Structure 1
Amino acid sequence: MMLFLETIFAFPVVIYTTLLLLCIMFWLIGAIDIFQLDSLDISPEGDAGSLNALGGILLKFKLHEIPFTVVATFVALFAWLTSYLIFRMIQMPMKDVALLYYGVGLANIFVSGVVGLIATSIFFRPFNKWLSKLNKAVTHKDILGEVVIIRSSVVNAEKGEATYEDGGAGMILQVRCFNKDNQLTRGSEAIIVKYDAVHHYYEVIPKKKYF
């Protein structure tokens, strides 16, 4: 047991151990719903280059149809397993030679990350067609004029989230409201009036003002 603990917290396995623990904590918090926290919201003024690069990687490995949190969890899991095995079989025997030990450690980080992506892609490949059909079942035009329930603590011109019941598992949408006097809060009903294809959010207005 001690050897296992020493390994998972050794360089570079500790990097993927930390990522995997963060993913597990995310799912636990989501499952028990202890905290009423707004989801992380990426501002349209954010680093578009980084987002495009990430999207390109997911597309290349055919993971763009899978929710990002699910992809991140499985990539972290497979990368952690790979890193652990490389450390035990190759890196650990070199611990007395610092240059080789850390050189192999740096290579371990890269190899484990790539293997994590490939393994995740292979794992989800049988589900890609089904997920593609599911995602295309509801288009942006289909839900214009539909009612959504606000799930964030506030909705304004910069941030906001809402849920839309599509008859299945439901959808979580990025929403914005440009009415300065709007009082949309968690649990409020709003109506979708527009989709911004550039910044990927839906413009909404309070339902009570619409009727």
Structure 2
Amino acid sequence: MELFWGIFFSFPVIIFSALLTICILYWFVAALGLLSVDCLDFDISVNDVYSDVPSTGLGGLLMKFGFNEVPMTLIITLISLIGWSICYFAFRLLILPLYNFVFLYYLAGIALLIISFILSVYLTAFFIKPLRPLFRKLLINHNHKSLLGQVIEIRSSTVTRTKGQATCEDGGAGLILEVRCDESYQFKRGDKAVILQYDETTNCYEIISLKDFNG
């Protein structure tokens, strides 16, 4: 047991130990109902979910590994657990004999930290792959439902039963949505409308005029 705690608090294992401890405390608090499971999640827009164009930056990195489709708290926990396991056993087998050679010890420790993190990211992506369709469906349904009743602005020259686009403010760059309606509304660019429902078969939103929505 003494060896375990010695390695637990040794560099570089202590970095993953700290992350894993925080994750364990988080899940304990979440189990008490004081925190939500998705409290650390990034905002993913409906367009991001359906877009075929690769994203850049942090969003692109998340999408590359499929991390945008699973709660970020679960991702961080898995990376911490897998990274700690790799780092702990590698330290015990490879780094511990170098403890008296300070320069080699820290050099090997830094290399082990980097390798452990990279492996933990790839292994996490592998383990969550079977879960992604489930969470993806939940994410999409949540985003669509959150848009119902929102006021949008028509951006196309007209809106019919077969074509039409509108913009929806989301606090960021805004969303561009495919919208459909009865042609009797005769919407034109710049008009305001309200999202009434979402059609899963066509991936479009049914809209009505702001006047009709307000009765």
Q: TM-score range by the shorter chain?
A: 0.5 to 0.7
Mapped to 1, the partners of 2:128 and 2:17 lie a distance apart of 22
TM-score by length of structure 2 reads 0.58
Matches within 5 A, 1:54-73: 54-73=58-77
1:119 corresponding residue in structure 2 = 123
Q: Percent identity, please.
A: 33
Q: 1:106 aligns with which of 85, 98, 110?
A: 110
Shift, 1:54, TM fit? 3.3
Mapped to 1, the partners of 2:41 and 2:64 lie a distance apart of 24
Mapped to 2, the partners of 1:34 and 1:138 lie a distance apart of 22
Q: What residue identity is the alignment partner of 1:7?
A: I
TM-score by length of structure 1 reads 0.59
Mapped to 1, the partners of 2:40 and 2:128 lie a distance apart of 25
Where structure 1 has 5 or more consecutive residues not aligned to the other structure, the ranges are 43-51, 147-193, 202-209
Q: What residue identity is the alignment partner of 2:172?
A: V
1:11 corresponding residue in structure 2 = 11
CA separation of 1:107 and 1:74: change in aligned 2, threshold 3 A: same
1:134 corresponding residue in structure 2 = 138
CA separation of 1:200 and 1:63: change in aligned 2, threshold 3 A: farther
Q: Is the 8 A contact 1:140 1:195 kept in 2?
A: no
Mapped to 2, the partners of 1:195 and 1:144 lie a distance apart of 13
CA displacement 1:16-74 (0-9 Å, x = unmatched): 000011111111112114589xx6799xxxxxxxxx64333222212210011110011
CA displacement 1:164-184 (0-9 Å, x = unmatched): xxxxxxxxxxxxxxxxxxxxx
Question: Who wins on radius of gyration, i.e. which is larger?
Answer: 2
CA separation of 1:53 and 1:84: change in aligned 2, threshold 3 A: farther
Where structure 2 has 5 or more consecutive residues not aligned to the other structure, the ranges are 43-55, 151-167, 176-213
2:170 corresponding residue in structure 1 = 196
1:155 corresponding residue in structure 2 = none
- Identify the structure with the greater helix proportion: 2
Partner of 1:64, secondary structure, is: helix
Aligned residues: 145
Shift, 1:141, TM fit? 6.6
Partner of 1:136, secondary structure, is: helix
CA separation of 1:34 and 1:100: change in aligned 2, threshold 3 A: same
Mapped to 1, the partners of 2:92 and 2:84 lie a distance apart of 12
1:156 corresponding residue in structure 2 = none
Q: What residue identity is the alignment partner of 2:139?
A: N
Shift, 1:142, TM fit? 5.9
Mapped to 2, the partners of 1:67 and 1:199 lie a distance apart of 23
Mapped to 2, the partners of 1:199 and 1:20 lie a distance apart of 35
CA separation of 1:54 and 1:76: change in aligned 2, threshold 3 A: farther
Q: CA RMSD in A?
A: 3.1
2:86 corresponding residue in structure 1 = 82
Shift, 1:136, TM fit? 2.3
Q: Is the 8 A contact 1:12 1:83 kept in 2?
A: yes
CA separation of 1:41 and 1:65: change in aligned 2, threshold 3 A: closer
2:205 corresponding residue in structure 1 = none
Shift, 1:135, TM fit? 2.2
